[in-house]
Amino acid sequence: MPNGAMEKDRLLAFTDGVIAIIITIMVLDLRPPRDDSLAGLRQTAPTFLSYMLSFVTVAIYWNNHHHFFHLVRRVDGAILWANLHLLFWLSLIPFATAWLGAHGSAPVPTAVYGAALLLPGIAWYIMQTVIIRRQGDDSALARVIGHDVKGKLSPLFYITGIGFAFLDMRIADAIYVLVALMWLIPDRRVERTVRGH
């Protein structure tokens, strides 16, 4: 097995483990209602909804990471650090999720939650750029990524959502959900290219 393949396998295994821990930490913040009524269950709704959006967001990163790295031939130190940079920002999502769940109608937790979604998106773009520079502009990954419209629009949407957190939190929340929906289905171009290989 070539050296690059071994390093890539370690990167993927480590990423899988960290993402599994992130999801586990988030679910541990879900607490049952204090009483056995529907009203008590309703009180847990903000926490559950923030957990659900965060779970979907982290799952999207894992899913796209899985597809994306099928087109990465080998990794080096720069790619390892770029991947760790992504994992760092993803690891802060449980904190922002818990705060938003506890204070769902407050602007600052809503804005911080938006920032916790924005920063992994920026880290993903950095990682993607580092990998393409290492593999070359003529690599399969570079050709598949193309202009990456979703990747450029997502940070703008998140920044808009952060701004709306101080004006109307419902709009901010709707924007965060919209970005998740944009990314829900993995890039078909990547799947087609992987099948072609």
Give the pLDDT confidence score for residue 103 in this predicted structure. Answer: 85
Question: For 143, which DSSP code?
Answer: H
One digit per residue, the tens of pLDDT, for the chain of length 197 reads 455 556 788 999 999 999 999 999 998 877 777 777 777 777 777 888 899 999 999 999 999 898 888 888 888 889 999 999 999 999 999 999 999 988 878 999 999 999 999 999 999 999 999 998 888 778 777 777 766 778 788 999 999 999 999 999 999 999 999 999 988 876 666 656 555 55
Give the pLDDT confidence score for residue 171 in this predicted structure. Answer: 95
* pTM for this entry: 0.86
Helix 3-28 and helix 93-102, axial crossing angle in degrees, nearest 10: 20
Q: Which of 101, 92, 90 is nearest to 30 (CA)?
A: 101
Report residue 94 CA to chain centroid gap.
12
Question: Are the C-beta atoms of 162 and 109 separated by less than 8 Å?
Answer: no
Apex 48 CA angle, 104 and 41, nearest 5: 95
Give the pLDDT confidence score for residue 162 in this predicted structure. Answer: 96
Q: What are phi and psi of 133, to 5 degrees?
A: -60, -40
Q: Which of 73, 62, 24, 52 is nearest to 186 (CA)?
A: 62
